[in-house]
Amino acid sequence: MELDLNNDSNISKKVAEYQSAGISKKKAYELCKDIQALDVDAGTSEGKYSTIKTISTQGVSDKQKAALVATLYTTNDEETGKVKDESMLPYISTSGHLLSLYLTNKDTEMISMKIPAEFQSKKVVYTLTDAERALFKSTYANYFNSRATNVTSAEAIKKLRDDAYEAAKKAVINSR
Is residue 80 included in any domain, yes or no?
A: yes
Query: Model-level pTM?
Result: 0.83
Which contacts qualify for 69-76: CB closer than 8 Å, 24 or more apart? 69/99, 69/111, 70/21, 71/17, 71/18, 71/21, 72/48, 73/111, 73/112, 73/114, 74/114
Is residue 94 included in any domain, yes or no?
A: yes
Domain of 119?
Answer: 75-175
Is residue 89 included in any domain, yes or no?
A: yes
**What pLDDT, in 10s, does the model give residues 106-130?**
988 889 899 999 999 999 999 999 9
Measured CA to CA, the distance from residue 23 to residue 135 in angstroms comes to 28
**What pLDDT, in 10s, does the model give residues 14-40?**
898 899 889 999 999 999 989 988 988
Domain count, the chain: 1
- DSSP secondary structure letter of residue 114: E
